[in-house]
Amino acid sequence: ADVPKLGTCITCHGRDGVGTSPVFPNLAGQKSLYMVQQLEQFRSGARKSEVMNVVAKPLTDAEIEALANYYEGLKPSGP
């Protein structure tokens, strides 16, 4: 199933949930509730990030939920 707005996330966090540079965190297998909370904070501006404040701004609660569930469901790659 398509996850709305995923196309934006994968630029930095990968479709596989592995950050595409050392400053982009891995999200594969991350706890969805944590990611929901962080996306809400990025959306409101409570957590500051030039990139994330912009991309989280238009997300709906349902989209945040779907994106967090998508990334939680991925198998993390080990070191």
Binding residues (CB under 8 A) for its own copies: these are 19, 22-26, 28-34, 37, 46-48, 72-79
Residue 35 C-beta: closest distance to its own copies, Å: 8
Nearest to 41 by CA among 30, 25, 57, 28: 57
Of 42 and 59, the one with the shorter C-beta distance to its own copies is 42
Nearest to 11 by CA among 52, 72, 46, 59: 52
Helix 61-72 with 6-13: angle, nearest 10 deg: 40
Residue 37 C-beta: closest distance to its own copies, Å: 7
Of 6 and 29, the one with the shorter C-beta distance to its own copies is 29
